Amino acid sequence: MSHTSLSNNTDILPSDAANDVYPLALSARSDTEAARKIAPTVIEKLSDLSLFRMGLPKSFGGWEGNPVETLKVYETLASAEASVAWITWNNHLACTFGRFLDETSMKEIYHNPAHVYANSARPEGVAHTVENGYMVSGQWTLVSGCELADWFVLRCLVVSEGSPTTLGPGANLKLFFIPKEKVEVVDTWHVGGLNGTGSHDIVVKDAFVKEAYAVGFDSPVAIDNAYSRLPIGCINAAGCAAMALGVLKAATDDLIDICLERVTPNKSPDLRDRGTV
């Protein structure tokens, strides 16, 4: 499968790439739902079009232009299949966390354009300080896209000599970048909505993470561009809103189609003529 990626063509917009994915995401909905994860053909196309790398610098195939473009992506994808938009949005968050890494670590983690990323900002793990790094263990809930991910960004309580050992005032929290081979997926995602996000639990047991792969929200940002100066929380919240608009559009389109098609054979008003509708 061959498509033009954002990194290879400065003329293509993320929103145009999302429009290219739309018909495939729509046609693969049943496969996504049945597998409880995004259909492989959709993942391949999202990856090929660099939509999993929008939160990265341009040198890594990312998007440094108008952030509204990323919101258009989420809205378009959600109007086809909400789970596809959710995974793309969630992947974007894992990539924006990369802004806190040093240049060498960023290259090591984001070097492969085919990689997919997942994250959990909930501090459901514990990291004990050891020589040159940390030993990380924990179980995180609702980790969307965990079966697809090559790397995880997971938040932990850092425990060292004299530091708090529970969450609360003074707790030291960091994000840890962990490769998939150190992560176990626990099948917990049996739901009625967003089934395709595959948001299972994951478990990490005594995984060593080197010091450079542990960052905090107050870590310095080595990337100097406008996009990387946007607050992560604002990007995240706006993405949620964009997905909601996409779902609303799909629901409205379906309602219009139903109203056009359903004609009442008796004297009762047609569906489209009923005040409640």
The predicted pLDDT at position 155 comes to: 98
Rounded to the nearest integer, the mean pLDDT of the chain is 93
Place of tokens 């378009």: 76
Q: What is the pTM of this model?
A: 0.92
The predicted pLDDT at position 11 comes to: 67
The set of residues, in sequence order, having a beta carbon less than 8 Å from that of 156 and lying 6+ positions away, is: 123, 124, 125, 126, 127, 134, 136, 138, 173, 174, 175, 176
pLDDT of 239-261, one tens digit each?
Answer: 999 999 999 999 999 999 999 88
The predicted pLDDT at position 6 comes to: 53
As a whole number of angstroms, the distance between CA 165 and CA 62 comes to 38
Tokens representing residue 122 in the block: 């909930």
pLDDT at 3 over 70: no
Span 114-119, average pLDDT: 98
Residues 49, 4: contact at Cβ < 8 Å?
Answer: yes
The predicted pLDDT at position 223 comes to: 86
Q: What is the DSSP string of 128-163?
A: EEETTEEEEEEEES--TTTTT-SEEEEEEEEE-TTS
pLDDT of 13-70, one tens digit each?
Answer: 999 999 999 999 999 999 999 999 999 999 999 999 999 999 999 999 999 999 999 9
How do strand 184-186 and strand 172-179 relate by DSSP bridges? unpaired
* 3-class SS of residue 175: strand
Q: Beta-carbon neighbour count of residue 221 at 10 Å?
A: 12
pLDDT of 142-181, one tens digit each?
Answer: 999 999 999 999 999 999 988 888 999 999 999 999 999 9
Strand partners of residue 176: 154, 214
Q: Give helix 82-96 / helix 68-80 axis angle, nearest 10°.
A: 150
Strands, E, within the chain: which ranges?
A: 117-130, 133-140, 151-159, 172-179, 184-186, 201-210, 214-215
Span 65-78, average pLDDT: 97
* Ordered structural domains, the chain, with CATH: 1-114+234-267 (1.10.540.10), 116-217 (2.40.110.10)
Q: Is the dihedral of CA 92, 93, 99, 105 positive or negative?
A: negative
The predicted pLDDT at position 4 comes to: 41
How would you classify residue 136: left for phi > 0, otherwise alpha for psi between -120 and 50, otherwise beta?
beta
Residues 33, 196: contact at Cβ < 8 Å?
Answer: yes
